[in-house]
Each structure stands twice: as C-alpha cells, then as structure tokens.
Amino acid sequence: MSKPTVLVTRKLPEAVEARLSRDYDARLNPDDALYERDELIARAEGADAILPCHTEHFDADVFDRLPDSVKIIANFSVGYDHVDTEAARKAGVVVTNTPDVLSDATAEIVMLLMLGAARRAGEGEKLVRTAAWKDWSPAFMVGTQVTGKTLGIVGLGRVGKVVAKRARGFDMKILYHNPSRKTDEDELGAVFYDRLEDMLPHCQFLSLNAPNLPSTRGLLNAERIALLPDGAIVVNAARGTLVDDDALIAGLKAGKPVAAGLDVFNNEPGIDPRYKDLPNTFLLPHIGSATAETRDAMGFRALDNLDAFFAGQEPGDRVA
C-alpha cells in the first residue's frame, strides 16, 4: 500500500522531517523557500495533505484551485487565522492546528518583552555593541521595575494562564479581560474585568494574549491607550493585528505607553518602520515558539493529526 503524500511548505526540525519521511511520501522544502500562491498550488498536485505554517495563506481562491487530492491541512501552528476555515469546509478539506505545546515558550517571550521594555534592554545592548557606553551614574539607563506591579492580561487562554503563573513569580498582581470569566482554578486569584475599558486604568503592564478574530483586530487603539495609567508598558506576543500601529506609535512618541515590547507585528516581516526609530521599543522577530523543544512538539502534534486522519480517525486538533 502506498504512503500518503504530504507537501511540507517550510523547513521543519530534523526529528520531525525524519518521522515524516518514514511514514509518508514527504515533499520537503530543504531550502526553506517561501512558496507563493501559484507555486504552492502547483506543488500540491497529487498530494493528499499539506503541512504548512502561518506563512502560507489559504483563502477561498486557494481552496478553489487546490487539487482534489488534498484532503487535510495539518498546520504547524496554534493559530489558524491564515486559513479560511469556512472555505475549507465547503471544499471538504479538514484543518488542524497544534495547541497546548507552545504555551510555556510563548509565555517566556512575554516575560522577556516585559523585562526588555521595562529595563530598556534594547537601548542598553546597543550602547554596549556600539561602544557608546562611557560611564555610570545614578541617572544612567533608569527604567521601570517589574516586581510588584499590576499586570493586565487580555485573553486568559492557554498562553495567558502561563503568563499569569510566571508573573506571580515577580509578585505581580494579575488582572484579566476575557470573553467570559474563568473558573477559580484557572483564575488563581486573578481579578476578572468584563469590560476591557474598566481594566486598562489599573494596568501598569498590559499583555495582549488574544487570538486574531474580527472582534480583536485593532483592539489596542487610541481610545484604549488613553485609558492606561502614566508609565504603563504594553507587550504583544500574540498577533500583530491586535494593535492599531498608528495609535501605538503615536502613544509611544507621546510617552503613553512609556514603552512597548513586541514580538509580533502587522505585515511582518515588513513591519512599520517607525517602530525601529523609537528608543522605547523592544522588538523581536516573532520567536514566541522558537525553542527546539517546542518546535519538535509542534511538528509531532501536526503529525499526530495526520496519522489519525489517514487511519480513518478524527484528528484530535481539528478546527475545520
């Protein structure tokens, strides 16, 4: 019996590709080339499955043009906003994602963003690397202390809960806004706010951990930034679409928020260049899940979904 053919759109971890090649007829991408739409569709000819990342976009037009042989898209990502799930359902294509396995890694990046923005790490590293660090004084590189501050979390989901847990290690008070209130077990003492606008005035730090949905796009806008207290710091390791760039950049220039730590952006990697010119930004290149352990786990989770599908079972992480 022939093995199912799987088109893999990006270079994956070695252990993941080894398992793929063992169990499937794997069309790998050893050069890690970014396939444009037409090339992606052409390479999918005769494939039974596609294993993509968030860098590939599957809208209604793509589903209309995909070969009929493609029956499942097993995403190497927890987010699946790059896939039009309604179009997938109409085309009869199953869609899966990789939840649960990247919460710790992403929460670590949230803490790095908070510390980096608060303690002016980007500015400090630049001083050292450019030999512009000349001396020390009590007024030199003074930032904001994280310990004991109040953190507001927008979205107490898988990542948000781990962020809250890590932040408690800094003796932070945790507030959160979510579509619905969590159980006492999930809250662990965090204070729930039904309205985001009611929470923002209390947030010395604000962490965006919501998914990309029509209701969350542009969530952090000028009106909500104005509600933050003086000295507030904003971090985002979720999706760039949560932020109104014009509003945040204007706020950073005016000193509210006083700083921002960003790992995700609109139109990445072609981000708004104004962020790069602001000294009060700490910027990372979307590395929330970028640990060896997490990337392996993401790949194995995607393969578990493929294994289940081709065994005639329901994939555990089906989203469409």
**Cα–Cα distance, 86 to 308 (Å, whole number):** 22
Whether the per-residue pLDDT at 1 is higher than 80: the answer is no
User: In terms of Cα–Cα distance, which of 113, 198, 109, 213 is closest to 159?
Assistant: 109
**Cα–Cα distance, 304 to 299 (Å, whole number):** 9
Whether the per-residue pLDDT at 30 is higher than 90: the answer is yes
The DSSP result for 59-93, as a single string, is -HHHHHHS-TT--EEE-SSS--TTB-HHHHHHHT-
For position 140, what pLDDT does the model report?
Answer: 97
Q: Where are the domains of the chain?
A: 5-101+292-310, 103-283
Residues 6+ apart with CB under 8 A from 95: 72, 73, 75, 80, 83, 85, 88, 318, 319, 320
Average pLDDT in the chain: 97
Residue 315's φ and ψ, nearest 5 degrees, are -60, 140
For position 234, what pLDDT does the model report?
Answer: 99
Catalytically active residues, by annotation: 239, 268, 286
**Cα–Cα distance, 259 to 18 (Å, whole number):** 43
279-303 mean pLDDT: 98
Q: What is the CATH number of domain 5-101+292-310?
A: 3.40.50.720
Task: From the options 3.40.50.300, 3.10.450.50, 3.40.50.720, 3.40.50.1000, give the CATH code of 103-283.
Answer: 3.40.50.720
Task: Please give the share of the chain, as a percent, with pLDDT higher than 90.
Answer: 100
**Cα–Cα distance, 305 to 72 (Å, whole number):** 9
The DSSP result for 157-200, as a single string, is SHHHHHHHHHHHTTT-EEEEE-SSPPPHHHHTTPEEESSHHHHG
**Cα–Cα distance, 147 to 197 (Å, whole number):** 24
> Please, which pLDDT band fits residue 41 given cuts at 50, 70 and 90?
very high
Whether the per-residue pLDDT at 39 is higher than 80: the answer is yes
Q: For residue 186, which amino acid is it?
A: D
pLDDT digits (tens, 9 = 90+) for 150-190: 999 999 999 999 999 999 999 999 999 999 999 999 999 99
